[in-house]
Amino acid sequence: MSGHGDPIKMTARKSAPLQGTAQVPGDKSISHRALIFGALSVGETKITGLLEGEDVLDTARAMRAFGAEVTQHGPGAWSVHGVGVGGFAEPEQVIDCGNSGTGVRLIMGCMATSPITATFTGDASLRKRPMGRITDPIALFGAQSYGRAGGRLPMTVVGARDPVPVRYTPPMASAQVKSAVLLAGLNAPGQTVVIEKIPTRDHTERMLRGFGADVTVEQTDEGQVITLQGQPELVAQEVAVPRDPSSAAFPVCAALIVPGSDILVPGVSQNPTRNGLFITLKEMGADIEFLNPREEGGEPVADLRVRYSALHGIDVPAARASAQIDEYPVLSVVAACATGVTRMPGVHELRVKESDRIDAMARGLEACGVRIEEDEDTLIVHGMGPGGVPGGATCASHLDHRIAMSFLVLGMAAQNPVSVDDATPIATSFPIFEDLMAQLGASITRDTH
Ligand code: S3P
C-alpha cells in the first residue's frame, strides 16, 4: 500500500563509474501471477525469488482475503495453499491493491466468474486509472460492476452466478486485460478466446499451461488467437521467479550513461514480449553483451555485461511499444543523454500507467534543460549528448516508481544534481534500488528536512 507514508525526497549526483554486479529482484508480473495462480490451484505452490515489493505484497494479502493460505518462509520464499478454480471465498473487507494496476485488474478477472461480491480500492494513483477495460469484458461473462464515474475505483464487482464463455478482442494492447479475461474464463464452461491484434507479455499463457490449463495460441489474419478450455483443475507448482527485466533496465541504462561504467546484470529475461528495451539500446549504439543464455523459471534469460557507451538517437518502431512499455521513462532519460533526436511513437498507453508517463517525463526532462516534443501518442527527446544534460531540478514522481527511478538515473549523468520529490513509490517494484545503485557506486542521498 504505497503513498500512505510521508514523502521522501531523494537526490542523485554525477557518479563515479558504476562497477560490479547488479542482482535485481524478481519479476513483478510473474510474482503477481505466481500468487494468483497458486491461489487458484489445488495443493501447495512453492515460490522462490518472489518480488517482495509493495504491489506484490498487496496481491498476497488479497489472495488471503479470498481464502488462500499464503505464507512467507524466508526472503523470496513463499507458499500458497490454493482454493482451486471457482473456490474463492467472499472477502470480508475491501481489497486494497495499493499502487498496482496489475494486481487489481487480474484479481477482478479471477473473481468475476464466481458467485461472490468484492469491493476494490487503491492509492491515489490507482484510483485515477481506468477500470472500464476490465469491467467491459467481465460483463460479457455475466459479472456486474459498480464504480465511480469514468469506471474508477473504489469499485464493487458482483461475480457471475452462471458465467458464459467469452470471445474477446481487447481494444488496446494490454497484458492485464488479456490476463483478466483468461482468468475469468477459468471458471466459465467451454472455451474462452482472446484475440490480440498486438501481442503483449505472455506470462499468463505460459504459466497457466505450467499449472495444467489447456491454453493454445494460434497466429491468424485476425491476430494472435489465445484459446483457454474452461474449468480446468489447476495443480500446485514450484515457481522460480526470474529477475525482472523492467527493474534491470535502471542499472543497465545508468551504466550506459555514466562514463567509465562496466557492470554485470545477471539473469535478465530475454522473453521476446519483454526485451524491447535491449534491442532499442543496441540500435542506439549500446555496448551490451548477452552472456550465458539459458532458461530460468521457464523464461529465456542471459547475463548482461553493460559498458558506458556514446549513444545516438533513433526512431523507435511503434510496433515495439508493447515489448518495452514500462521502459519508456528510463529510455527517455537515455535519449536525453544521446546525441541527436529519439522519436518514440505509439505510446498512448503511457498516459494511463501509474502516472501519465509522457507528461511526467516531458515536464521533468524540460525542468532539467532537455527539449521535448509530445502529442497524445508520441514522445520526442532532443538529445544533448554525453554529459550535456544540465539537470539541477526537482522532478515530480506522481506516485510512480518508474518515474522516480528514471530521474534518479538521470541525476547520475547530469551536470547538476537531479532530485525527485517523493521516492517512496520505488518500494512498489524495486525496494532495494537505493542500496543496489549505491553498491555499484552511484551517489544517491535522502534529503532530510
Ligand atoms: C503488466 C502489463 C502491462 C505493464 C504492467 C504489468 C502485467 O500493463 O505495464 O507493468 O503484468 O500484465 P498493461 O496491460 O496496461 O499494458
C-alpha cell at 352: 494511463
Predicted pLDDT of residue 284: 99
Q: Is the pLDDT of residue 448 over 80?
A: no
Number of domains in the chain: 2
Shared domain check, 151 and 38: yes
Shared domain check, 116 and 88: yes
C-alpha cell at 45: 505452490
Residue 213 lies in a domain: no
* CA-closest residue to ligand 1 atom 10: 326
Q: Is the pLDDT of residue 109 over 80?
A: yes
> Hey, which of 59, 99, 174 would you mutate to test ligand 1's pocket, going by the most ligand atoms within 8 Å of its Cβ?
174
C-alpha cell at 178: 488479456
Report CA Rg, the chain: 21
Predicted pLDDT of residue 298: 83
Q: Is the CB of 204 under 6 A from ligand 1?
A: no
Any known ligand binding at 174?
A: yes
Shared domain check, 13 and 75: no
**What average pLDDT does range 342-365 have in this prediction?**
98
Active-site hit among 27, 123, 326, 422? 326
Any known ligand binding at 209?
A: no
Q: Is the pLDDT of residue 438 over 90?
A: yes
Residue 343 lies in a domain: yes
252-305 pLDDT per residue, tens: 999 999 999 999 999 999 999 999 999 999 999 999 999 999 998 888 999 999
pLDDT band at 5 (very low <50, low <70, confident <90, very high): confident
Shared domain check, 41 and 166: yes
pLDDT band at 184 (very low <50, low <70, confident <90, very high): very high
Any known ligand binding at 357?
A: yes
Q: Is the pLDDT of residue 369 over 50?
A: yes
Distance CA 249, CA 78 (A): 26
Residue 19 lies in a domain: yes
Shared domain check, 283 and 179: no
* CA-closest residue to ligand 1 atom 15: 174
Q: Which atom of ligand 1 is nearest to the CA of 178?
A: 14
Q: Is the CB of 344 under 6 A from ligand 1?
A: no
Q: Is 137 left (phi over 0), alpha (psi -120 to 50) or beta?
A: alpha
Least confident piece of the model among 135-144, 294-303, 367-376: 294-303
Residue 234 lies in a domain: no
Q: Is the pLDDT of residue 205 over 80?
A: yes
Instruction: Please report the DSSP string for 150-191 in residue order.
Output: TTEEEEEEE--SS----EE--SS--HHHHHHHHHHHHTSSSE
pLDDT band at 1 (very low <50, low <70, confident <90, very high): very low
**What average pLDDT does range 9-31 have in this prediction?**
98
Instruction: Name which residue leads in pLDDT, 325 or 2.
Output: 325
Shared domain check, 249 and 147: no
Percent of the chain with pLDDT over 70: 99
Q: Is the CB of 429 under 6 A from ligand 1?
A: no
Count other C-beta atoms under 10 Å from residue 218's C-beta: 12
Strands 223-229 and 191-196: antiparallel
Predicted pLDDT of residue 233: 97
Residue 86 lies in a domain: yes
C-alpha cell at 350: 503511457
Angle at 152 between CA 147 and CA 157, to 5 degrees: 40
Distance CA 227, CA 229 (A): 7
Distance CA 34, CA 47 (A): 7
214-265 pLDDT per residue, tens: 999 999 999 999 999 999 999 999 999 999 999 999 999 999 999 999 999 9
Q: Is the pLDDT of residue 111 over 90?
A: yes
Domain final residue, candidates 125, 158, 188: 188
Q: Is the CB of 326 under 6 A from ligand 1?
A: yes
Clarify whether 326 is annotated catalytic.
yes
The overall average pLDDT reported for the chain is 97
Residues 6+ apart with CB under 8 A from 287: 256, 306, 307, 308, 309
Percent of the chain with pLDDT over 90: 97
Q: Is the pLDDT of residue 101 over 60?
A: yes
Residue 199 lies in a domain: no
Shared domain check, 57 and 19: no
Distances in Å between the alpha carbon of 374 and those of 101, 340, 390?
25, 16, 21
Shared domain check, 74 and 21: no
Shared domain check, 416 and 292: yes
Residue 163 lies in a domain: yes
Domain final residue, candidates 142, 167, 188: 188
Q: Is the CB of 179 under 6 A from ligand 1?
A: yes
> Hey, which of 51, 99, 201, 274 would you mutate to test ligand 1's pocket, going by the most ligand atoms within 8 Å of its Cβ?
201
Any known ligand binding at 105?
A: no
Shared domain check, 117 and 32: yes
Residue 205 lies in a domain: no
Q: Which atom of ligand 1 is nearest to the CA of 173?
A: 16
Q: Is the CB of 202 under 6 A from ligand 1?
A: no
Cα pseudo-dihedral 2, 423, 341, 388, rounded to 10: 180
Q: Is the CB of 176 under 6 A from ligand 1?
A: yes
C-alpha cell at 238: 514450484
35-87 pLDDT per residue, tens: 999 999 999 999 999 999 999 999 999 999 999 999 999 999 999 999 999 99
Q: Which atom of ligand 1 is nearest to the CA of 106?
A: 12
Domain final residue, candidates 188, 210, 228: 188
Shared domain check, 22 and 52: no
CATH number of the structural domain spanning residue 146: 3.65.10.10
Any known ligand binding at 355?
A: no
Shared domain check, 13 and 79: no
Range of the structural domain that residue 320 is part of: 9-26+242-447
User: Across 221-298, where does the E strand assignment appear?
Assistant: 223-229, 238-240, 262-269, 287-296
Predicted pLDDT of residue 449: 59
